[in-house]
Amino acid sequence: MTLLEHLGELRKRLVRGFLAILIGFFACYGFAQQLFYYLSLPLLKVMPADSKFIYTGVAEGFFVDMKVAFVAGVFVACPFLFYQIWAFIAPGLYEEEKKYIIPLTLSSALFFILGGV
């Protein structure tokens, strides 16, 4: 492939990755408050009984939900993002290099899922 063809392929992979993150964001936005509750549960357990979370800005509640939904969307889209990275890199590797990278990739994906759980 020429340099422009490589750049076109990279652009295609990046656009697909950003679309996956966007879809993941919109899918997780409806659950953002529940996700925030589960993320803040360890802190809620150690807080005094009469204390609560507060927002220090007018739009902070909205932006907290947006940030939680974005991070969850990236997490949900990660398997597809990893595939896009692999699909861009794999054609440039020799078979012997692929033989060493595939076990590393599978173990990395397993550890990513276990870390998320």
Over the stretch 52-77, which tens digit does the pLDDT of each residue have? 888 888 999 899 999 999 999 999 99
Q: How many Å apart are CA 33 and CA 22, to the nearest integer?
A: 18
DSSP assignment, residue 2?
Answer: -
Structure tokens at 90: 């794999």
- Which candidate, 21, 19, 14, places its Cα nearest to that of 77? 21
DSSP assignment, residue 93?
Answer: S
What global pTM score does this model have? 0.82
Q: Given pLDDT bands bounded at 50, 70 and 90, which one contains residue 110?
A: confident
Answer yes or no: are the C-beta atoms of 37 and 111 closer than 8 Å.
no
Over the stretch 25-45, which tens digit does the pLDDT of each residue have? 999 999 999 999 999 999 989
Q: How many Å apart are CA 115 and CA 117, to the nearest integer?
A: 5
